Structure 1
Amino acid sequence: MKSIPTAMAAALLILIGRAPAQTPPQSPPAVKIGRDTTWILKPLKADGTPDYLAALNEQFGKGVTKDNNAFVALIEALGPGLLPEQIRSATLKALDVKLPTASPFLRPVERAGPLFEQFEAARKGPWGAADHPELAKWLKANAAPLAKVGAATSRSRFFVPTVKPKAEPAVIHLVIPQYGGVRSAARALVARANLAASEGRIDDALTDLLAAYRLGALVGQDYTVVGRLVAAAIILEVLDRVADLAVSGKVTAGQARAVTATITETGPPPSFAPALLGERYTGLDVVIWISKKPNHARFRQVISSTLAPQNGPTAETPVPAHSPLDRVFQRADYNVVLRRMNALYDEMAAAAASPTFAARVQEVARFRDRAERTRQVAAKLCSPKADRAAATEWVANMLVSALTPLLGRAPILMDLVSVRRDLALVAFALAAHRAEKGKYPNRLAALVPAHLKRLPSDFCSGKPFIYLSDGRGFVLYSVGENMRDDGGRGEGEGDDCDDIVLRTSANSVEGNKPSR
């Protein structure tokens, strides 16, 4: 988890580490199993508390087999580095697979040196082998593992069993796969597609781009926010390059139809809601773990775990065996804390599921403001003499601040991925129409039903996408996150402009009256 801001976490570590030794007070009330507290009623551990790890595996692994799980095939292509050493053996055992030893794995590109620079440049548009010779050699050398990555994307599921490193007590201590390797594979496919496009091999370019798109969609089945954000990043990059081909005038009607069919059949981009369920389970599990032996030392472990993924292990401040803060943690009613946690997760889910983009942006911003106020309240030290209600309120604020993921822009970013996907579908329908009719249509409605079963609308505005065409070229755009028509100007083209724009090289349509 990466939810708590660095400065806040550091302050909490210092704050709760300053206390003289003291005899521990009474134990808190036992945690009650219920929808309002533990959220799940089963499965249960031997001690009678929920087994959230088993619940995650049961819910997200339903229907997954070795033959339909793309992650199993990706291990063959990307090698052991895909799984951190702490969880490698346990994960492979859960998948019932052995780590291949003889396969040629995708060679990583070091984040320094000329090859990395060539790799980054090649992802942004068409390039030739003479432009980036080292990268061209690298792609040839890695043809076999890239072929395996492409084959893996034909599978229907993506599931990584949830396992804990040995002796780690709570779900928060989970170690997740190295998704950087998956993203690097997607980037390699994009770079190779750009090379193919520059050489006029449009079929090859589309094959690689659509494989990368399917890879992103598969990773989007992951239960973690991190996994879904990686998926969104992959899909966004692919959609940018796919859109370039759609407006290039180089695709045939058959190619355009194939792209539209693949993107449609792959389904919508990943949503935020399933990842929120994983975050809920993690948060509730940690509250219960602390309730079993409530003291500030355990809370410090939670803070350290939230910081470790981004900052490395935190320096430990010597902690006395007992302190006045133990009295606060032990006096708290953790059933109330669990209810508070569930209420916030419910609030996050409601914000992310608002029916319109405008309402979603407003609710997400409102939630973030409330979360920040909670963090400010939690920063104030609670008196060891506080009664149960006050102690519970303070502990709840502390844990909510540490465990509730900062909603941030994740739901909004995923909405914008969906908007770009819909723009790409319309752009390829336009390309197919032009290939067949010799010109672009005057109105988008002409694409239905020959090229699209229905015409997607702009989720940002709740209205049709804005379209301008003189038959020779077109401009197609969404009003973007600011929900304002900026005249087809995107980021960097004016103050606060953020239209999401696709346009052909023909400029004759600029200034024409928009149509739908």
Structure 2
Amino acid sequence: MKKWIFLAPLVLILVWQAYEQLPIGPRIRVSKETTHLTEPLAPDGLPDYSGALLAELREGVTPENNGALPYLQAMWPAELEAEHQAPLCQELGMQVPQAEGVASPQDDELLQRQVEEWLSGEGESAVGKERRRETFFTLIQRQPWEADQAPQVAEWIDAHREQYDLLHQAVSRPRFYCPSPTFLTDPDARWIDMQLPTVQCMRNAARCLAVRANLLAGQGDFEAAWRDCRAIYEFSDRLESTTIVERLVSYALEGLANEVALGILGEERLGGETAAQMLAFYQPRLPHNDLVAAMDTGERYCFITSVLAMSRQRLPGGPLDDGQATLSPTAARRVNWNVVLALGNELYDKLIAANKLEDRDARDQAFDRFGDELDALFEEDLVSVAAAQVSRGARSRLIGRRLLSLLLPAINAANAAQDRRNIYRQLMPVAAALAVYRAGHGEYPDTLQPLMPVLLAEPPTDLFHAASLIYRRTGNGYLLYSLGDNQRDDQGCHALYESYAGYPTQSRMRIRGWDEAVVELLGLQDAPNLYDEEGHGPYFNIPSDADDYAVRMPVVTIDLPQPPGDTNPHKD
């Protein structure tokens, strides 16, 4: 009897270890703590994440009020794969378009060849031809130009008037419902695998509008130019906040629209009426946080649906590969996936709570604490790895940590992009008000005070600190900027975005002659130490941690490349 008393603990340990290794893990429990979404349920008994999102997005949408229909007609096939075209059109209540839409000028192969042949000189290298063509298309997208400087592009724009009209119809409709085709063809797919072709194609629509807006501005039709520019903003606003990818595309579209708008606002011929229309558009566009919704839905469900696939309790419609499920069916059943899901939801709750904080300092401190917690959580030692070999709970926590290390979004980068969007929402109304003032007085004011209260209700406050934006009148324009996150006056420089005194530099623009144009605008031709002893440069002194966000007038413009021997006054 005594022998069995001594052996009993050992037997219990062996039985427990054997049980822990058995492939009989519990089913995933539907709850707020695990699956987060609790209804509706799919046939497998787990939440129908795709169905819930589609039901929310399509509510109140009809073919008549949905701007996605004319958008798709304008851009068809809008980067959709062949197998996705009919399901998406059926979901939207439209016929599959039979005619191809427009590509952006940069993606139209025929237009690219025509321009390259037009620009090429006899005996010019292939590299030289490509560089001139790329410079040409970069410039027509970012600055005003005239038809005789780019006749092929002007003809291309005229030939696609129907598609441009459709793009304007798209933004004139009150709703814009164009879901990922992945939700329609494979509702059980991991959200991290969702395809967003129509979202990515919206960049092409924006480029089309930017090129025509710049042509119209170059020809002096500023009202029409602003109409095209405003359409870019409206496309940006119509992107859903389901995922961070959609938010980043939205920010990129708004950034392109800002660039085009500044080209319009900088035109000396711009009248006060159009400038006032632009000001009225910008004034209600306030900074706001739209990343929370993307994190709470799209990013959280990217994690959860990935866990469901790895658990093999829900399998995507397509074949599984190593990138979709890295555990064998037997190994997957040795994990308690409820532990994995609960760990993930706890971290997403903390991440979202930190991002909801309106006070910037408090938010930054919360993110610092969150980062420290992640560092501690993701640190693995021999004990935790060894425990995972014998304990289902330890094994589940280890897998959860590893999954989170792969799937948690790069929130710092996303927040930086949102901050950039938001600070320009403070800068653009001031730039428009300054354009209105110049139209009425013939020059910019020496301070911002004359703009108030008629054009601006109150002094614009810097997003990053409780003080006014910096405004400096220059000889032929002005420099307007925010001090950025470091709250230090870097004279309008930004290291990450490679800008100096409010102007982007050649290292960012990748256009030959750009820095020389900046030097001329700044009057730095005789500045010491700008060029080295061999004449190389200019070398701008941008502090490594500079982070000012700036608007500078006049904007930089570069003569478009022209054919060899062309007498056009704008020739390269």
TM-score by length of 1: 0.79
Partner of residue 447, structure 1: 451
Q: Find the residue that maps to 2:78 and give its secondary structure.
A: helix
Q: Find the residue that maps to 2:492 and give its secondary structure.
A: coil
| Structure 2 portions without partners, runs of 5+ | 1-20, 116-132, 501-541, 556-572
Judged with a 3 Å threshold, the aligned counterparts in structure 2 of structure 1 residues 429 and 128 are, in CA distance, closer, same or farther, namely same
Q: 2:218 aligns with which of 188, 198, 205?
A: 198
Instruction: Output one character per residue of 1:122-174: Cα deviation in whole Å (capped at 9) or x when no partner.
Output: 11212233333332232222222122112211223332234446567433343
Partner of residue 275, structure 1: 294
Instruction: For 1:250 and 1:367, locate their aligned partners in 2 and report how far apart those are by CA, in whole Å.
Output: 52
Alignment of 1:22-421 (within 5 A): 25-102=22-99, 104-106=101-103, 109-110=106-107, 113=112, 115=115, 117=134, 118-162=136-180, 163-164=182-183, 166=185, 169-172=188-191, 173-219=193-239, 221-264=240-283, 271-276=290-295, 277-293=297-313, 304=323, 326-327=330-331, 329-361=332-364, 363-364=366-367, 367=370, 371=374, 377=380, 385-421=389-425
CA contact (8 A) 2:388 2:394 kept: no
> Across the two proteins, how many residue pairs are aligned to each other?
465
Instruction: Output one character per residue of 1:77-110: Cα deviation in whole Å (capped at 9) or x when no partner.
Output: 1112342334322222221221221475446643
- State the superposition RMSD in angstroms: 3.5
Judged with a 3 Å threshold, the aligned counterparts in structure 2 of structure 1 residues 168 and 202 are, in CA distance, closer, same or farther, namely closer
Q: 1:478 aligns with which of 479, 482, 485?
A: 482
Partner of residue 487, structure 1: 491
Query: Which structure's CA Rg is the greater one?
Result: 2
Instruction: For 1:79 and 1:378, locate their aligned partners in 2 and report how far apart those are by CA, in whole Å.
Output: 53
What is the deviation of 1:486? 0.9
What is the deviation of 1:375? 5.4
Instruction: For 2:543 and 2:404, locate their aligned partners in 1 and report how far apart those are by CA, in whole Å.
Output: 37
Instruction: Output one character per residue of 1:52-88: Cα deviation in whole Å (capped at 9) or x when no partner.
Output: 1112123333333323322222111111234233432
CA contact (8 A) 1:247 1:427 kept: no
Judged with a 3 Å threshold, the aligned counterparts in structure 2 of structure 1 residues 283 and 78 are, in CA distance, closer, same or farther, namely same
What is the deviation of 1:340? 1.2
Select between 275-284 and 467-476 the one with higher mean Cα deviation. 467-476
Question: Which amino acid in the other structure matches residue 119 of structure 1?
Answer: F
Instruction: For 2:73 and 2:262, locate their aligned partners in 1 and report how far apart those are by CA, in whole Å.
Output: 31
Q: Find the residue that maps to 1:64 and give its secondary structure.
A: coil
Partner of residue 551, structure 2: 502
Question: Which amino acid in the other structure matches residue 272 of structure 2?
Answer: A
Question: Which amino acid in the other structure matches residue 405 of structure 1?
Answer: P
Instruction: Output one character per residue of 1:460-503: Cα deviation in whole Å (capped at 9) or x when no partner.
Output: 23422112348984321111344321123343431133322223
CA contact (8 A) 1:332 1:391 kept: yes
Judged with a 3 Å threshold, the aligned counterparts in structure 2 of structure 1 residues 488 and 161 are, in CA distance, closer, same or farther, namely closer
Determine what percentage of the aligned residue pairs are the same residue: 28
What is the deviation of 1:44? 1.0
CA contact (8 A) 2:470 2:482 kept: yes
Q: Relative CO higher for 1 or 2, CA cutoff 8 Å, sep ≥ 6?
A: 1
| Structure 1 portions without partners, runs of 5+ | 1-23, 307-318, 507-516
The yes-or-no answer on 1:432 pairing with 2:436 is yes
Instruction: For 2:375 and 2:68, locate their aligned partners in 1 and report how far apart those are by CA, in whole Å.
Output: 37
Q: Find the residue that maps to 1:304 and give its secondary structure.
A: coil
CA contact (8 A) 1:127 1:198 kept: yes
CA contact (8 A) 2:287 2:426 kept: no
Judged with a 3 Å threshold, the aligned counterparts in structure 2 of structure 1 residues 367 and 122 are, in CA distance, closer, same or farther, namely farther
What is the deviation of 1:50? 0.7
Q: Find the residue that maps to 1:430 and give its secondary structure.
A: helix
Instruction: For 2:377 and 2:152, locate their aligned partners in 1 and report how far apart those are by CA, in whole Å.
Output: 52
Instruction: Output one character per residue of 1:341-368: Cα deviation in whole Å (capped at 9) or x when no partner.
Output: 1122123223333324455455546645
CA contact (8 A) 1:87 1:164 kept: no
What is the deviation of 1:339? 1.4
CA contact (8 A) 1:440 1:471 kept: no
Q: Find the residue that maps to 2:480 and give its secondary structure.
A: strand
Question: Which amino acid in the other structure matches residue 487 of structure 1?
Answer: Q
What is the deviation of 1:194? 1.7
Instruction: For 2:184 and 2:58, locate their aligned partners in 1 and report how far apart those are by CA, in whole Å.
Output: 20
Instruction: Output one character per residue of 1:266-290: Cα deviation in whole Å (capped at 9) or x when no partner.
Output: 6657721222121212321232343
What is the deviation of 1:265? 5.3
